[in-house]
Structure 1
Amino acid sequence: MPGPSHASRATHHPSHRASHRAPRSPLGAWWAQRPPAAGAAVMATGIVSVGLHLTGYETLSRIALALAGVAWVGLAADFAVRLLWERARWVAEAETPGALTAVAATTVLGTRLSLLGWQSLAEALLALSALLWPVLIVLVMGHWKRRMPGAVFLACVATQGLAVLGATLAAAESTAWLAHTALVLFWLGLVLYGLALARFDLRQVTTGAGDHWVAGGAMAISALAGAKLIAADSARLYLWNVDDRGVLRAVTVALLALDLAWYAVLLVAEVVRPRLRYDVRRWATVFPMGMTSAATLSVAAALDVPWLRTPGQVLLWMAVAAWLAVAAGAVGAARTGVRTLRSTAPR
């Protein structure tokens, strides 16, 4: 996540001097300070919407989808403004792991829209995320270091997000090449998980500010991708032979088991070392919780394991409770931030 030094360097860029001539409202000034990791709020809200849809709570799901959509539009507009007129700041932020939330959030939103039947819009979001992914993945991984926070796993999450959306669209539109591309991304995502794990600082499990949960969330979205690939197969497409399907089933089950193990470890760590103060990175806690629920429910359907639905539903309501708590913290932090900026603004 970029610190104040990034922002201060950006203000010396010629493209910024013009923008500083136009005074900003306190709300606009507060929004301008938003870090790239704020994209996790869209990821969290979008996956909660998916989980609510999978359990039949369609009205609540659509409310969450609307919130995610509005937030995505705001963040996308800000992304474009920084790219066009605040290039130095955009580059500085694009080199941080949190930048990959732009890809992940877009794919999560696209997946929910596809489930709603809006395939054209979902395809547009897939195309957009596919264009962003190679640029951001190269910039981010080129600046990896040792002992990184949980955001390092966003390389896996963004890649598996493409696999999930690709497999979802392949099933909706009976498109074999899209499913096969999603399969390649699925395996690549697992490789990236291994690389990220080697850079992850395990001490973050007890000291992290929220994004340490992405270590488990990356497993969860990988399991979801596996379930979507299995579900995309049909007599019409015949994507996988018996051996391929067997490998996919085994890997998907293993990924879900590893995800649930991570979930248990991270939950125990939260009880042992409570971190109750709000931090924007707490959205990166809600996302893995919601993703674990969605993965469990999707694996239950794709592999015909009905008993998994009950734990999937329990995990969903835990994610909803976490979403409400973090949303309350975000509103409080926003009010405080706007109030502070208003009191310090020149009159």
Structure 2
Amino acid sequence: MAMATGIVAVALDLAGFTWATRVLLAVTAALWAVMAVTFALRLRGGREKRRAEECKPVTLTSVAGSGVLGVGLLLFRYEAAAEALLALMAVAWLLLLPRVVRHLRRRLPGAAYLVTVSTQSLVVLASTLAKQLPARWLVWPAAVLLALGLVLYVFVLGRFDFGQVRDGAGDHWVLAGALSISALACAKLAVAAGPPAPRPLEALMLLILAVAFAWYVLLVWAEIGTPRTGYDGRRWSTVFPLGMTAAAAMTAGTVSGLHWLDVLGHVLLWPAVAVWAVVAVGAVRHAAAPRAPG
């Protein structure tokens, strides 16, 4: 929820809707606080329970959610808070990622792509800070993480259960979202490394974004062919790629000078906002629904 709401807020800012960004960013901060408390409580159990929790890809939302919030805070010049979040993310990523990767098997769900999303979240926030502070020393570590995130994507892709495209409950969309955030990471890194933006990074950004668009179209087609209308918490993992693809397209359009990409990003923003609203209503209704005793 924090990741999805945060990236929609960032995309709305890119489109010029500052008031909506402020509202959704406040919601994101509240959701992040709930996520942090929930994450801490889950790790309070016994050693075996804690180890089992730490091996699940979903734990990496703690990294990705922090990254989205950090980028949102930088929109309003809260550099100190973003720096603190980056440090917290780096520690969590170093502790969690190796354990998650070691336990990845065959027939993986879409949530497994969080290994890439969390890694590229570090790149996006570090690159944004590198430009805004400025702190150029962050550029090279970010470049290494960018490459690692792409390697992890290929690793998960080879083990992904493609039946999820037809039957998935929502997190299968991270198949596209992981590439969209990789393209955004390229764009942010290119800006931090320039000016002018390095041509190889620009080319890589456009290539990754093209593949992300292809997955996006395939996933939309699959949703039309096999509608999945019931509420499921994993639908927040559908909102995130929708918002991320819009944000990546707008940012890539600015970096590359391709105006049509920026226009496409503005167009893709509205399905992301609409789906966010539908899923948010579903979440509220689900939370308010009476529970059977026991």
**Would you say same fold, with TM above 0.5?**
yes
- Residue 257 (structure 1) aligns with: 210
Aligned residues: 294
Contact 1:152 1:199 in 2 (8 A): no
- Residue 51 (structure 1) aligns with: 11
1:101 correspondence with 2:61: yes
Contact 2:5 2:27 in 1 (8 A): yes
1:81 correspondence with 2:81: no
Match of 2:87 among 116, 127, 136: 127
Contact 1:213 1:284 in 2 (8 A): yes
Aligned counterparts of 1:303 and 1:103: Cα–Cα separation in 2: 28
C-alpha distance after superposition, 1:71-122 (max 9, x if no partner): 1001101222333456544332221111111111111111111122101000
Tell me the CA shift for residue 141 of structure 1. Answer: 1.1
Amino acid in structure 1 at the alignment position of 2:93: W
Amino acid in structure 2 at the alignment position of 1:256: L
1:111 correspondence with 2:71: yes
Match of 1:159 among 119, 129, 148: 119
Match of 1:282 among 199, 221, 235: 235
SS of residue matched to 1:278: coil
Amino acid in structure 2 at the alignment position of 1:112: G
Match of 1:319 among 257, 269, 272: 272
SS of residue matched to 2:158: helix
C-alpha distance after superposition, 1:248-287 (max 9, x if no partner): 1111000110111110000000000111111100000000
C-alpha distance after superposition, 1:145-204 (max 9, x if no partner): 101111111100000000000000000012111111111111110000000101101111
Amino acid in structure 2 at the alignment position of 1:296: A
1:329 correspondence with 2:278: no
Contact 1:100 1:154 in 2 (8 A): yes
TM-score by length of 1: 0.82
Match of 1:232 among 165, 187, 192: 192
SS of residue matched to 1:126: helix
C-alpha distance after superposition, 1:31-86 (max 9, x if no partner): xxxxxxxxxx1100000000011111000011110111001001101222333456
1:344 correspondence with 2:293: yes
Match of 1:272 among 202, 216, 225: 225
Contact 1:220 1:255 in 2 (8 A): yes
1:71 correspondence with 2:24: no
Aligned counterparts of 2:293 and 2:112: Cα–Cα separation in 1: 36
Higher mean C-alpha displacement, 305-314 vs 287-296: 305-314
- Residue 13 (structure 1) aligns with: none
Aligned counterparts of 2:117 and 2:45: Cα–Cα separation in 1: 29
Amino acid in structure 2 at the alignment position of 1:109: L
Aligned counterparts of 1:283 and 1:90: Cα–Cα separation in 2: 25
SS of residue matched to 2:103: coil
Contact 1:49 1:61 in 2 (8 A): yes
Contact 2:43 2:53 in 1 (8 A): no
Aligned counterparts of 2:212 and 2:105: Cα–Cα separation in 1: 24
SS of residue matched to 2:12: helix
1:216 correspondence with 2:169: no
Amino acid in structure 1 at the alignment position of 2:265: G
Q: What residue ranges of structure 2 are gaps of 5+ in the alignment?
A: none
SS of residue matched to 1:344: coil
Q: What residue ranges of structure 1 are gaps of 5+ in the alignment?
A: 1-40
Give the RMSD, CA atoms, in angstroms: 1.4
> Within 5 A, what are the aligned runs for 1:24-35?
none
- Residue 110 (structure 2) aligns with: 150
- Residue 304 (structure 1) aligns with: 257
Structure 1 runs of 4+ aligned residues shifted over 3 Å read 84-90
Aligned counterparts of 2:75 and 2:257: Cα–Cα separation in 1: 19
1:199 correspondence with 2:159: yes
Aligned counterparts of 1:326 and 1:90: Cα–Cα separation in 2: 30
- Residue 20 (structure 2) aligns with: 60
Who wins on radius of gyration, i.e. which is larger? 1
Contact 2:252 2:262 in 1 (8 A): no
